[in-house]
Amino acid sequence: MSLKVMNLTGGYTRTPVLKNISFDLADGELIGLIGLNGAGKSTTIKHIIGLMDPFEGQIQLDGKTLKEDPSLYRKKIGFIPETPLLYDELTLKEHIEITAMAYDVELSTAMERAMPLLDKFRLTDRLEWFPSDFSKGMKQKVMIVCAFIIEPSLYIIDEPFLGLDPIAIRDLIRMMELKKAEGASLLMSTHVLANAQRICDKFVIINNGEVYAKGTLNELREEFGMPEASLDEMYTELADKEGFLK
Amino acid sequence: MTIKDLFKTRQSIYYKKMSKYLKYVMNDHFVILLLFLGGATGLAYQNYLETIQLNAVLPRVLLLLIIGLTIFSGSLRTLVEPADAVFLLPKEEAFNLVMKRNLTYSLIFHSVYTLLIGVLAAPMLRAIGHMDSEGTVFWLLTLVIWKAVHGIHAYYALKQHRNETGRIIRSIILTVSLLAVAVSLFLSILTGFVFAAVTLVFFAFFVFRYTQNERWNWELLIETEQRRIQKIYGIINLFIETPQSKHKVKRMKILDFLYALPLLKENTEIYFLSRMFVRNYNFSGLYLRLLLIGSIAIYFSTNWITHSIISGLFLYLTGFQLIPLRQTFRKSIYFRLYPDTDTDKIKTIQKLILLLLSGSTAVYSLASISSGSQAVLRLLLINSVFTVFFTTVYLPGRLKH
């Protein structure tokens, strides 16, 4: 079992944003975290990567919590944030270097892993560029490259498709599927439900800081009695019916 | 809320913020340094005035340079924000009035320091016998008028016109004002004044009557204002941490050899910090400026006590103003995500500052070569003791603060 989120309650101040969230993510599995703006997806992610401390509950990665072995725990996670966060003063190449340094990957290995990705994203000529020279989509690509060169066992990707061009979206999906086939687990939060339906094995639907439903597409269809519905149809219908918007 | 109110609110917020930051900038050591430097410069100026000869040319050339720089410096304070290009676009007419107010405010502010420079320059003009005491009034008025012409030009430049027209107008204004200041300095103060007044009348007519219907160049407005604000924050950030510190980053490939130092490859933090320091002009620029000014001051002073005081002061200033390096770690989430959790960020900053101050120590010591090699060795010893004391005793407490 790769990632285990157990009864997670947490938030920014004393009032919890997340209430009793539980789900598991197995090796070689891709879970889509679905929910409206402000539902608690990013907050859940922040707890998993260790930027926030749970009020209650536990998060285990391969049986260990962050507190038990912070270094090992963090090494297993590759994180791609929703808005690209890069160092203003470092070039693209140096972003790869510093990532390699931080995650104890040999520099030559890191570059070897990076080159095909850079090639795919048409960034090979831009190794000397600064983030300020990049468009939003390019920055996102740099984030993706940096996460993939550490070859973590858990990929956490917050809104991966925003700002990417269609070719890059296709390539990213292929890369994610490849990693999945190699046995890595992936947790992805997204609003692009069509893509999510295509690639995710399971879904965790979060509303108002709680897990509203979880399971495979078929399990969800069964649970809500909508046998033919797409994820998109199901989600909007549920949101209307259950008053998610309130 | 009208646009006028909007900008009034912005203005009061702006001034509140600036006065808050100014309090931090004018901290005790900085005020002492300013008094020290001001006193020294004043004394040197007074000595210079006594040696000055009647009808000397050099002082005029010097003044032309200083006055030129004073007049051409400074920009309009518009308080325009990036979102204005979207939200205020339909309200250009109301915005015109706001811009006129902005112009007035800026002119008043710029006139104050222009007058100060003018007052300081007056004794020099009297010493060379170019100006009597009645002339002083015209001299000061001339300067303020030129400042106004440039303010109006800055206002005009923010409107939409063809690139070429803008360029021509700019060169005309530049040439005419430099020429006219030269007239004031070399020919006659009164002629210079008339020259200035006539230019102001014509140019004001051109801008406020002839081209008043031209529309604003919003992109330029925003860019100019952002640049102005960043310049201010660039200075403030040398003293305290502010949330607004965007800055242009330069690659400086030529300095890449520096990163080969083993110390700078020890961990991710120093890897990042060293590059950040070099490429962020807020930090490297400050370091170089202090290094240069300090070295010159030491080179031209003669006894070892002055050497030590100046070195100590500049080493302290350099080290003290590098303390905001600490904030760079807070800004990035990555240093909270990287697996290596045992690193000591304070130690990393301490190491970098030690390295930099060691560099300054060496340069300041070498700068005293004008007083002989013994002086160099003595200063090297004193500076090294100071640097070690600063980084190991004083700094850790400040960084934890």
Per-domain boundaries in chain B? 3-232, 253-400
Which of the four pLDDT bands, split at 50, 70 and 90, describes residue A230? very high
> Which pLDDT does position B246 carry in this prediction?
59
In 3-state terms chain B splits into helix, strand, coil percentages (rounded to 5) of 80, 0, 20
The pLDDT tens digits for B146-181 are: 999 999 999 999 988 887 888 999 999 999 999 999
Q: Please report, rounded to a whole number, the percentage of residues in chain B having pLDDT higher than 70.
A: 96
Q: Is A92 on the interface with B (CB under 8 A)?
A: no
Size of chain A in residues: 246
Amino acid code (one letter) for A6: M
**Interchain proximity A85–B249, CB inside 8 Å:** no
**List of chain B residues whose C-beta atoms are within 8 Å of the C-beta of residue A132:** 248-249
d(CA A221, CA A108): 47
- Name, in order, each residue with C-beta under 8 angstroms of B71's C-beta and a sequence gap of 6 or more: B114, B143, B146, B147, B150, B177, B181
**List of chain A residues whose C-beta atoms are within 8 Å of the C-beta of residue B341:** 70-71, 74
Q: Residue A104: pLDDT above 60?
A: yes
Tell me the DSSP string of A98-146.
Answer: HHHHHTT--HHHHHHHHHHHHHHTT-GGGTT--GGGS-HHHHHHHHHHH
Distance from CA of A149 to the nearest CA of B (A): 14
**List of chain A residues whose C-beta atoms are within 8 Å of the C-beta of residue B251:** 91, 128, 130
Q: Report if pTM > 0.90.
A: no
d(CA B97, CA B106): 14
**Residue B268: which of A72, A91, A98 has the nearest Cβ?**
A98
**Interchain proximity A74–B339, CB inside 8 Å:** yes
**List of chain B residues whose C-beta atoms are within 8 Å of the C-beta of residue A103:** 338-339
> Which pLDDT does position A205 carry in this prediction?
94
Q: Is B338 on the interface with A (CB under 8 A)?
A: yes
Which of the four pLDDT bands, split at 50, 70 and 90, describes residue B247? low
> Which pLDDT does position A245 carry in this prediction?
62
* Sheet containing A18-25, strands listed edge to edge, beginning at the edge strand earlier in sequence: A18-25, A3-10, A56-61
Q: Please report, rounded to a whole number, the percentage of residues in chain B having pLDDT higher than 90.
A: 34
**Interchain proximity B337–A87, CB inside 8 Å:** no
> Which pLDDT does position A8 carry in this prediction?
94
d(CA A167, CA A154): 24
Amino acid code (one letter) for A227: P
Q: What angle do CA B7, B212, B81 make, to 5 degrees?
A: 25
Q: Is B271 on the interface with A (CB under 8 A)?
A: yes
* Sheet containing A30-34, strands listed edge to edge, beginning at the edge strand earlier in sequence: A77-80, A154-158, A185-189, A30-34, A202-207, A210-215
* Most A-contacting residue of B226, B275, B327 (CB-CB within 10 A), to test interface: B275
Distance from CA of B270 to the nearest CA of A (A): 10
Q: Is A72 on the interface with B (CB under 8 A)?
A: yes
> Which pLDDT does position B42 carry in this prediction?
81
d(CA A155, CA A143): 12
> Which pLDDT does position B36 carry in this prediction?
76
> Which pLDDT does position B328 carry in this prediction?
80
Which of the four pLDDT bands, split at 50, 70 and 90, describes residue A168? very high
> Which pLDDT does position A48 carry in this prediction?
94
Which of the four pLDDT bands, split at 50, 70 and 90, describes residue A147? very high
Average pLDDT, stretch B287-314? Answer: 83
Better-scored residue on pLDDT, A88 or B32: A88
Query: Please, are residues B216 and B92 in contact by the beta-carbon 8 Å criterion?
Result: yes
Average pLDDT, stretch A40-60? Answer: 92
Residues 97-116 of chain B whose Cβ lies under 8 A from any Cβ of chain A = none
> Which pLDDT does position B164 carry in this prediction?
84
**Interchain proximity B339–A98, CB inside 8 Å:** no
Amino acid code (one letter) for B294: G
Domain ranges of chain A: 1-76+153-163+182-246, 84-151
Q: Is B334 on the interface with A (CB under 8 A)?
A: yes
Q: Which of A185-199, A211-225, B334-348 has the lowest mean pLDDT?
A: B334-348
Q: 3-class SS at B279?
A: helix
Residues 128-187 of chain A whose Cβ lies under 8 A from any Cβ of chain B = 128, 130, 132
Size of chain B in residues: 401
Better-scored residue on pLDDT, B13 or A241: B13
Distance from CA of A128 to the nearest CA of B (A): 9
> How many Cβ atoms from other residues are within 10 Å of residue A64's Cβ?
14
Write the ipTM: 0.83
- Name, in order, each residue with C-beta under 8 angstroms of B82's C-beta and a sequence gap of 6 or more: B222, B226
> How many Cβ atoms from other residues are within 10 Å of residue B121's Cβ?
22
**List of chain A residues whose C-beta atoms are within 8 Å of the C-beta of residue B334:** 85, 87, 102
Q: Is B259 on the interface with A (CB under 8 A)?
A: no
Tell me the DSSP string of B181-201.
Answer: HHIIIII-HHHHHHHHHHHHH
* Most A-contacting residue of B268, B269, B282, B328 (CB-CB within 10 A), to test interface: B268
Q: Residue A1: pLDDT above 60?
A: no
The pLDDT tens digits for B44-85 are: 788 888 888 877 788 888 889 999 999 888 889 999 988 888
Q: Residue A45: pLDDT above 90?
A: yes
The pLDDT tens digits for B214-228 are: 888 888 899 999 989
Query: Please, are residues A10 and A54 in contact by the beta-carbon 8 Å criterion?
Result: yes
> Which pLDDT does position B104 carry in this prediction?
93
Which of the four pLDDT bands, split at 50, 70 and 90, describes residue B15? very high
**Residue B271: which of A49, A91, A101 has the nearest Cβ?**
A101
> Which pLDDT does position B346 carry in this prediction?
86
Average pLDDT, stretch B262-279? Answer: 88
Average pLDDT, stretch B281-295? Answer: 84
**Interchain proximity A102–B338, CB inside 8 Å:** yes
* Most A-contacting residue of B265, B337, B343 (CB-CB within 10 A), to test interface: B337
> Which pLDDT does position B370 carry in this prediction?
82
> Which pLDDT does position A246 carry in this prediction?
55
Q: Is A71 on the interface with B (CB under 8 A)?
A: yes
**Which of A25-29's residues contact partners 24+ apart within 8 Å by CB, and which partners?**
A25/A154, A25/A185, A25/A187, A26/A1, A26/A2, A26/A185, A27/A1, A27/A2, A27/A153, A27/A183, A27/A184, A27/A185, A28/A180, A28/A181, A28/A182, A28/A183, A28/A184, A28/A185, A29/A2, A29/A180, A29/A185, A29/A186, A29/A201, A29/A202
d(CA B327, CA B347): 14
Question: What's the whole-number average pLDDT of chain B?
Answer: 86
> Which pLDDT does position A200 carry in this prediction?
95
Distance from CA of B237 to the nearest CA of A (A): 17
Phi–psi pair at A211, nearest 5 degrees: -75, 115
**Cα–Cα nearest to B185, from B145, B147, B129:** B129
Please name every residue paired with A207 in a beta bridge, in sequence order, or none if there are none.
Answer: A210
Which of the four pLDDT bands, split at 50, 70 and 90, describes residue A32? very high
**Interchain proximity B337–A77, CB inside 8 Å:** yes
Which of the four pLDDT bands, split at 50, 70 and 90, describes residue B86? confident
> Which pLDDT does position B242 carry in this prediction?
67
Topology (CATH level 3) of domain A1-76+153-163+182-246 = Rossmann fold (3.40.50)
**Interchain proximity A101–B336, CB inside 8 Å:** no
CA separation, residue A41 to residues A36, A204, A230 (Å): 9, 10, 21
Nearest CA in chain B to A131: B249
* Most A-contacting residue of B226, B230, B249, B336 (CB-CB within 10 A), to test interface: B249
DSSP letter at A56 equals E
Q: Is B83 on the interface with A (CB under 8 A)?
A: no
d(CA A233, CA B306): 80
Better-scored residue on pLDDT, B38 or A18: A18
**Cα–Cα nearest to A149, from A188, A115, A199:** A115
* Most B-contacting residue of A51, A89, A127 (CB-CB within 10 A), to test interface: A89
Which of the four pLDDT bands, split at 50, 70 and 90, describes residue B210? confident
**List of chain A residues whose C-beta atoms are within 8 Å of the C-beta of residue B276:** 87, 89-90
Phi–psi pair at A7, nearest 5 degrees: 45, 45
Q: 3-class SS at B243?
A: coil
Please name every residue paired with A30 in a beta bridge, in sequence order, or none if there are none.
Answer: A186
